[in-house]
Amino acid sequence: MRTADGGEPAGASPPAGGVDGGLPMGSERMEMRKRQVPAAPDAPGAAPGQPGVGSRGSNACCFCWCCCCSCSCLTVRNQEDQRPTIASHELRADLPTWEESPAPTLEEVNAWAQSFDKLMVTPAGRNAFREFLRTEFSEENMLFWMACEELKKEANKNIIEEKARIIYEDYISILSPKEVSLDSRVREVINRNMVEPSQHIFDDAQLQIYTLMHRDSYPRFMNSTVYKDLLQSLSEKPIEA
């Protein structure tokens, strides 16, 4: 029914097929979305059924838009990134942090008071001295000295270079929390020689730290409870027949 002016009567519903008699509104919106999303083109020369660049198949390469693919080049790159880290970790573990040694005798502990050299020549003496250095927050001096001793034993050029880099990063770099105290001359020599390091690259620095421990820390160690308690415990120990 039409009104007198030819329009539709009030309250009349539009045709069921939409405004223009086509698809329903929901289907029309779905069709428009499909038209707006282009299909990913296959790579040139790809065989039928083989995934293209935009797909996430097993042959996908570095152009993948996500990291969930088993990309061969990414696998190789990750392995290459992990190799130096693993090697550095293993070499770092080889550097001594604590030395196994039998319990010192009373004669050995008495000898430590005679000279700093006699203290440093035995593993038990170095362990006791290092325990004292830890109380003074200067344990890095002993750790650096021990790492230099370990470096001198190496003969393989590649291992020498890697261990020298680790020692530099741990004890020479100004960014390290365990940096040891060295003068500018020794530090400059090390920086120049790090281009091609040898097992003796830190000899001057090691001697400087050895002298520092001798003059500064050793006298306090002899008066410390660490040394006196150890000496007393051995003095009171009954002598075995």
Q: Which domain holds residue 126?
A: 106-236
Q: Is residue 33 part of a domain?
A: no
- For residue 139, how many C-alpha atoms fall within 13 Å in the half-sphere facing its CB? 12
Q: Is 12 helix (H, G, I), strand (E, B) or coil?
A: coil
Confidence of residue 165 (pLDDT cuts 50, 70, 90): very high
* Poorest-pLDDT segment among 3-12, 115-124, 203-212: 3-12
Confidence of residue 237 (pLDDT cuts 50, 70, 90): confident
CATH number, domain with residue 206: 1.10.167.10
77, pLDDT greater than 60: no
Our count of domains for the chain comes to 1
**Residue 227 class from Cβ within 10 Å (0-12 exposed, 13-18 middle, 19+ buried)?**
buried
Q: Is residue 146 part of a domain?
A: yes
232, pLDDT greater than 70: yes
Q: What's the Cα-to-Cα distance from 212 to each of 121, 151, 205, rounded to whole Å?
A: 17, 20, 11
32, pLDDT greater than 60: no
Q: Is residue 206 part of a domain?
A: yes
Contacts of 173 (CB under 8 A, 6+ apart): 179
Determine the Cα–Cα distance for residues 174 and 162; give it in Å rounded to an integer.
Answer: 19
Q: Is residue 37 part of a domain?
A: no
90-127 in b/e burial notation, b at 16+ Cβ within 10 A?
Answer: eebeebeeeeeeeebeeebbebbeeebeebbebebbbe
